[in-house]
Amino acid sequence: MIEKIITKVIVLLFITSIASVYADETLISESPEGAKVYFIEPQNGDTVSQTFRVKFGLSGMGVAPAGVDREHTGHHHILVNLEELPAMDKPLPANDNIIHFGGGQTEAELTLSPGKHTLQLLLGNHLHIPHNHPVISEKITILVE
Which residues form the interface with Cu ion (CB under 5 A)? Answer: 100, 124, 128
Helix (H) or strand (E) holding 7: helix 2-27
Calpha distance 128→89 (Å, rounded): 10
Distance from the Cα of residue 27 to its chain's centroid: 13
Is the four-CA dihedral 71, 25, 123, 66 of positive or negative sign?
Answer: positive
Nearer to Cu ion (CB atom), residue 12 or residue 71: 71
Q: Whole-number minimum distance, CB 124 to Cu ion, in Å?
A: 4
Nearer to Cu ion (CB atom), residue 42 or residue 124: 124
Q: Whole-number minimum distance, CB 81 to Cu ion, in Å?
A: 18
Nearer to Cu ion (CB atom), residue 128 or residue 131: 128
